[in-house]
Structure 1
């Protein structure tokens, strides 16, 4: 397992420990109070008061650490973790084991039985909390196991050996149960984490695949599918608000020449450079449509969508800025190249309120600019359906 999974397992074990710690401490406190009441007057009062005082102090410490642990992330190497996993269980185990000092064969059998039930039953009762961490389990129960064995050895008589054997078998069964409990818990947590990680990976993969469905992988601009969705939304907004929507279609001139002369790698580099320049040319103050303001919709065709353009002059300012930036010289390794572009513009609602028609009209205007060596862009003219109403001369 990777370190990440191990860290997740440690955290889940800690959370499980904290989840069971407070109820366990509450139950232990109730048992301790009943023990104090049952033994009061039957054993040395001073020793009993000392025992309940120390037990209360240890319990308060463990409760405090459990509360703190729920409020913040505890690292395994921290003092809080050591209080949780080492000192707390050890002191609690010593506290319960010390009940053996009150055991006396001269006492009433009910008192003897009461003490022995606690010493024998505590290893089982501690399973849900301490067996989360086997070190904690051993630290808690070793003093109690020792007290059980001492009790068996002090019985005397002809049956003492049988009591010792039974005590050892009982302790081995309890330890085996604790190990099995811990392994099952660890297996359950590991499977849960692995399933969660798998689901997270699938979700991440699905997110990436969804992104690929709407993003051009080469230029990382929106693709035609994303542009179509956003354009429809922008067009609906334009209709509702009676605002202007402009489609700026950009085509790289002589792109085939670049591929044939310098190779497809140079062609890809040119597309990436043009897309980067398009993005850098668009300012935050420009009325670019949200989501897919710039997109690559074909091999060497790009599109910019403008919403709420206040006047045609605003659109032309952006067009001229695009021309200036996109036509600046660039390098393909040792090769210097000056790109050339042609731009066509169509405007809604002046030319159409249908996105497919706007694209067609922008394409018509773009080819008008491409066919005239003296201009770089043209705006579609609905009057002639072919003549541009604006043109930018080639510098």
Structure 2
């Protein structure tokens, strides 16, 4: 989809779906923009074809009457056609910054000049001229509005600006240049003009409906795409904290461990709130939600970019009600305890809810790859065992798992 169309489709999608007036106005504006855009893109070939026809008509008439007016007419038609082509190129550059009505009206002025030029062909006629020459002039007047309909009728003001002078010329020819049957010719001309006008209006309406369907389809595609993106986000993101969820973490961590290189040390840290039930029961669920959000933010803010694993892709994750997990890359195993103490001190700093201060407490279990395991499931088992051992010691501490499964703890003071 072109960039301009994408922007306009997003504009439509951003409208209040309950505001029918705004939706209708936006769709109408987009329809007009596309009609004008399509007209400017297609009309140049019509102008060139019209110029070729004008040369053929002028040549045929000049061979019969050899009037200087014929030469003047063809020179004027040539200048006007090339001037319109140049102006079309200018309008195509302006159409993204100007309203479609403004661009359409400006082009309609050039169409009015062209219509007057074509209508002036009746001045080449005379009752004394050969019938073939007179028929050629009449056929030209009849044909030009229909021949230009496919491009000019995209934007009705342009079609009528071009056609009305020709219709007027046709009526004038019917009345003054065929005095024997002028009434019959006028009636036939009126019927023909009405038929062409109906054709142009129907063509314009059908084209509008087609564009409206395209816009509706684009909007539906945009909505489906947005919905899919939202579903994708919900499938991999915790809605409360904005962190990754268990599914996202497991997929990313599994891939990371499979690509682990020799010399890399990965620390998996499992963080569980000790007093979360008390917060919910004493301060309310809103306080519990705020505590989880604050805890997630503190974990993220106190994890250095150099320690995080692919930080933009795989930060901390919430894998349970009050349980968080995060992977760190460390140079040596000796770095894990200072890291754990820093995180413990950060997340257990006092919190406040509705003017009530309280001190959160967490238990942290840590497992290392490749020391304890090379798969995520095994690392989680080691970290989970270490975390429960931290809880058994009263919480507010961290425990680093050791091999074999009998972990011993290193405790940071509360």
What is the TM-score normalised by the length of structure 1? 0.92
Aligned equivalents of 1:348, 1:39: Cα separation in 2: 95
Shift of 1:209: 0.8
Partner of 1:82: 105
Aligned equivalents of 2:245, 2:332: Cα separation in 1: 28
Shift of 1:48: 2.7
Aligned equivalents of 1:365, 1:61: Cα separation in 2: 83
Match of 1:31 among 40, 53, 59: 53
Corresponding residue SS for 1:40: helix
Alignment check: 8 A CA contact 1:124 1:174 kept: yes
Corresponding residue SS for 1:2: helix
Partner of 2:87: 65
Output one character per residue of 1:95-130: Cα deviation in whole Å (capped at 9) or x when no partner: 111111111111122211111111001110011111
Partner of 1:207: 229
Match of 2:368 among 324, 344, 347: 347
Shift of 1:78: 8.0
Alignment check: 8 A CA contact 1:74 1:80 kept: no
Could you list the runs of 5+ residues in structure 2 that have no partner in the other structure? Answer: 1-22
Shift of 1:77: 6.2
| Residue 392 of structure 1 pairs with residue 414 of structure 2 | no
| Residue 173 of structure 1 pairs with residue 173 of structure 2 | no
| Residue 224 of structure 1 pairs with residue 246 of structure 2 | yes
Partner of 1:141: 163
Partner of 1:187: 209
Change (3 A) 1:241 1:42: farther
- Is 249-258 or 5-14 further displaced after alignment? 5-14
- Is 315-324 or 356-365 further displaced after alignment? 315-324
Alignment check: 8 A CA contact 1:65 1:80 kept: no
Aligned equivalents of 2:102, 2:28: Cα separation in 1: 20
Match of 2:379 among 341, 358, 383: 358
Output one character per residue of 1:270-293: Cα deviation in whole Å (capped at 9) or x when no partner: 111111222222233323245222
Alignment check: 8 A CA contact 2:245 2:319 kept: yes
Shift of 1:13: 0.9
Aligned equivalents of 1:50, 1:364: Cα separation in 2: 100
Shift of 1:229: 0.4
Partner of 1:197: 219
Alignment check: 8 A CA contact 1:252 1:342 kept: yes
Corresponding residue SS for 1:347: strand
CA RMSD of aligned residues (A): 2.0
Partner of 1:278: 299
Partner of 2:392: 371
Change (3 A) 1:77 1:25: same
Change (3 A) 1:382 1:3: farther
| Residue 383 of structure 1 pairs with residue 401 of structure 2 | no
Aligned equivalents of 1:313, 1:43: Cα separation in 2: 107
Alignment check: 8 A CA contact 1:89 1:139 kept: yes
Corresponding residue SS for 2:305: coil
How many residue pairs are counted as aligned between the two chains? Answer: 390
| Residue 302 of structure 1 pairs with residue 321 of structure 2 | no
Change (3 A) 1:56 1:286: farther
Aligned equivalents of 1:5, 1:163: Cα separation in 2: 43
Output one character per residue of 1:300-319: Cα deviation in whole Å (capped at 9) or x when no partner: 00011124x21124433432
Alignment check: 8 A CA contact 2:33 2:100 kept: no
Paired residues for 1:103-118 under 5 Å: 103-118=125-140
| Residue 311 of structure 1 pairs with residue 332 of structure 2 | yes
Corresponding residue SS for 1:31: helix
Partner of 1:336: 357
Change (3 A) 1:303 1:377: same
Corresponding residue SS for 2:259: helix
Corresponding residue SS for 1:393: coil
Change (3 A) 1:125 1:58: same
Aligned equivalents of 1:382, 1:360: Cα separation in 2: 12
Corresponding residue SS for 1:302: strand
Shift of 1:156: 4.4
